[in-house]
Amino acid sequence: MTLYASILGTAKALRQSLEGRKAYAHVIQTSGYNEWQATGASVKFSTKGGDEVELREGDGAYVDVKKKGTVLEAENVGDRAAELLVFDLGISFAIPPTYFYGIHSLVTTALLHCEQQYACL
């Protein structure tokens, strides 16, 4: 996994080549807690020939990278600087079922042991 972070000025854009199969883009909420519709910075994320999404402060979205080297563009379309994070995950989320079975067995064993010892954390 690779993490990219930036403060993007108004009307500015940047591009980043993605090497993984998935990515996650997030616009950091710097305007404080808000129960209603997001306010503050607004960033448009897009890939050449792909989808486009506009995110506001506190929003995030997964990016399905069709081809290694796909370029993700982030453009500040709001009226203030935007702080953003892009996680190039470098993995596929298709986890084989045997993985979950192994985790389930491990957790079940740990819980049984914990109950018998009365020293659970």
Q: Tell me the C-alpha distance between 86 and 45, whole Å.
A: 10
**pLDDT per residue of the chain (121 residues) written in tens, 0 to 9:** 899 999 999 999 999 999 888 899 999 988 777 777 767 899 999 988 778 999 999 899 998 888 888 999 999 999 999 999 999 997 654 544 444 444 444 333 333 333 443 333 3
Q: Tell me the C-alpha distance between 84 and 41, whole Å.
A: 10
Instruction: Check residue 12 and give its pLDDT.
Output: 96
Q: Which single residue is written with the structure tokens 């009226």? A: 79
Q: Break the chain into its structural domains and give their ranges.
A: 2-94
List helix spans (H) across the chain: 97-117
Instruction: Check residue 120 and give its pLDDT.
Output: 36
Task: Please tell me the pTM assigned to this model.
Answer: 0.69
CATH number corresponding to 2-94: 2.60.120.10
List of residues 6+ apart from 38 with CB closer than 8 A: 29, 56, 57, 58, 59
Q: Tell me the C-alpha distance between 95 and 23, whole Å.
A: 16
